Amino acid sequence: MSADTLLTTPLNALHRELGGKMVEFAGYEMPVQYPAGIMAEHLHTRDKAGLFDVSHMGQVKLSGEGADKALETLVPGEIQALKPGRQRYTLFTNEQGGILDDLMVTRFNDHLFLVVNAACKTQDIEHMRAHLPSGVTLEVMFERALMALQGPAAKAVMARLGPAACELTFMGGARVEIGGIWCTVTRSGYTGEDGFEISVDEDKADKLARLLLDQPEVMPIGLGARDSLRLEAGLCLYGHDIDTGTTPIEADLNWAIGKRRREEGGFPGADIILDQLKNGTARKRVGIRPEGRAPAREHTELTDAEGRRIGEITSGGFGPSVGGPVAMGYVETAFASEGTDINAMVRGKALPAKVASMPFTPHRYHRG
């Protein structure tokens, strides 16, 4: 796409003012980093707090009687059991058991609030409109801004500006006033750290972002550090670690299949997914720790000691908090146990690696 056809978020001018290096991502012009650099941004988020613009994600409101039951026909998560003010991670699946997208669902008193991935949001809307009954109203809110305040100091920042948010525990949500601006806030994020995702009206986004960045603990963070943070946290990136050819069981997302849904099914691909849940899969997503300092990137082939291909890396890079290369990918199930020796074929050379548990850095969510 040319620069003239790229979409922009409500914070585009601010990114440029802050010296953001702008790149194309999911059809949007987004900052990959700021002058401090990806390494500094990553470590600052782990140590203090970082502010991310994630307004390219798709925000959707579902309302009407039976909206929760209707959504359950498209996802394997327990949506009907979700209490007001609580959030759940779930997946849109297809009839082959593959993953169309992963998403977050928060229940408020009179509606469900969904956040879907940027690259999938148009097709997700079409998918829901094609399958949800006429009594369910779908409101697209793509014009709203969405930002994530992440890191151990996020709570201290929010205690000053929007103290009601501090009452939330991990995967909780509420309407909160931050610096005099009403926002929809969830205590969640995609870094493995404590933090908040903040949905706000487009015309108030710049003011709110500047207010947050004025806090001494906060610095702006680009897509580069967002990726390295989520990789260290062992979190999947749609289109890389999960896709339409990957089932939730292969992806080691068994926990996203609700207990009742395991018994009842009733979602696309249920027969395949539930059979895999019971009988296992031929391959599995695992963490990988390459030895040495050289990162093993996406599409790197994985082999056994005899050089036979056993899988492929789907996300990989240097983990600044870990101090070495980290990766995740898929291997034959026989090689999926922690500590298993494998090789990563980097530039034609077999580099030793081990299957490792994830996350690579401990999650620090605020569970109360």
Residue ranges at the known binding site:
197
Q: Where is the binding site for substrate, in residues?
A: 197
Dig out the tokens for 9 from the structure.
Answer: 């978020």
SS3 106: strand
Could you give phi then psi for residue 349, rounded to 5 degrees?
A: -115, 135
The CB density around residue 157, as the number of other CB atoms within 10 Å, is 26
Residue 231: what are its φ and ψ, rounded to 5°? -65, -45
Per-residue H/E/C for 47-91: HCEEEEECCCCEEEEEECCCHHHHHCCCCCCCCCCCCCCEEEEEE
Q: What angle do CA 206, 32, 115 make, to 5 degrees?
A: 60
- What CA–CA distance (Å, rounded) separates 311 from 301? 6
Taking CB atoms within 8 Å and a gap of at least 24, the contacts of 1-8 are 1/27, 3/29, 7/56
